[in-house]
């Protein structure tokens, strides 16, 4: 079925530490995944994406890991900063079929001083 879910609704991390946000998906045919950041009162902002033929992709301070065997992906944020406080969504875009983005429920990331 169509579902993308997150393991934890809230994550608190000390400023400067690394953050890891996890996500599970159920459809083994899924072929493209995106992480979005949504700050209060704003629309989702693209962070990083990964295709199913990859297992790791790095951006600026962010890394996404994809484990197709267990249908799990994670977002790692290095040296977490106060500006990283937001809700993070993993999402699935089955672009080869219909281009609609399927979102999970989100994880709220709290940065502790």
Partner 1 sequence: DAGVTQSPTHLIKTRGQQVTLRCSPKSGHDTVSWYQQALGQGPQFIFQYYEEEERQRGNFPDRFSGHQFPNYSSELNVNALLLGDSALYLCASSPGTLEAFFGQGTRLTVV
Contact residues toward partner 1 (CB under 8 A) are 32, 34, 36, 41-46, 49, 89, 91, 93, 95, 98-106
**Residue 3: CB minimum distance to partner 1, A:** 11
Tell me how far apart the alpha carbons of residues 18 and 33 are, in angstroms, rounded to a whole number.
21
Cβ distance to partner 1 smaller for residue 56 or 105? 105
Distance of CA 29 to the CA centre of its chain: 18
Tell me how far apart the alpha carbons of residues 39 and 4 are, in angstroms, rounded to a whole number.
20
**Residue 17: CB minimum distance to partner 1, A:** 26
Tokens found for residue 106: 């989100």
Cβ distance to partner 1 smaller for residue 40 or 69? 40
């Amino acid at each position: 079925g169509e579902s993308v879910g997150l393991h934890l609704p809230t994550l608190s991390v000390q400023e400067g530490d690394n953050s890891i946000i996890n996500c599970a998906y159920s459809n083994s045919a899924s072929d493209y995944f995106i992480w979005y950041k949504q700050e209060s009162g704003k629309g989702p902002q693209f962070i990083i994406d990964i295709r199913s033929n990859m297992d790791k992709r790095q951006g600026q301070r962010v890394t996404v890991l994809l484990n197709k065997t267990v249908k799990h992906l994670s977002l790692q944020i290095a040296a977490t900063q106060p500006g990283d406080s937001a809700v993070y969504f993993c999402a699935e875009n089955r672009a080869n079929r219909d281009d609609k983005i399927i979102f999970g429920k989100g994880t709220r990331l709290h940065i502790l001083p």
